[in-house]
Structure 1
Amino acid sequence: MTTTTSPRRLYRPRDNRWIAGVCSGLGRRFGISPNVMRLIFVLSCLLPGPQVLIYLALWIIMPNER
């Protein structure tokens, strides 16, 4: 028996946005609470790296929810 499920798409939802909806979209895609994803992002900003640039790139690349 096979079940067909719709693939989880990567998009920025129109609801539950704080800034651009990137963390909310990533949370929905990976089955994590958007607040947990936001916490992970904020904590990752304490480490050196291009986190803010990646966030901005995802803001541009990820489409809005229809």
Structure 2
Amino acid sequence: MNQTQTAPAVRRISRSSDDKMVAGVCAGLARHLGVDPTLVRLLTVLGVIFGFGSVAIAYLVAWVVLPQD
């Protein structure tokens, strides 16, 4: 009747040190989401262009806050 349950592994977002173009934020986010880094980079560039810089600010904050893997 006693069953032990294991906690699921916690996945944390970190900047990529081996697949980076600027700071590794997009590659780290893509790895966390399980998608292609090129797609995340493309969406980031489009967000910077059409988001009036709000995505650029978010990228800079992520660069400072996210740890390097």
Would you say same fold, with TM above 0.5?
yes
Q: Larger deviation: 43-52 or 20-29? A: 43-52
| Aligned length, in residue pairs | 64
1:53 counterpart (46, 53, 57):
57
Query: Over alpha carbons, which structure has the higher Rg?
Result: 2
Structure 2, unaligned runs of 5 or more: none
The TM-score, its normalising length taken from structure 1, stands at 0.83
The percent of aligned pairs where both chains have the same amino acid is 34
What is the RMSD of the two structures over their aligned residues, measured on CA atoms?
1.7
Moved over 4 A (4+): 2-5
The TM-score, its normalising length taken from structure 2, stands at 0.80
1:9 counterpart (7, 12, 35):
12
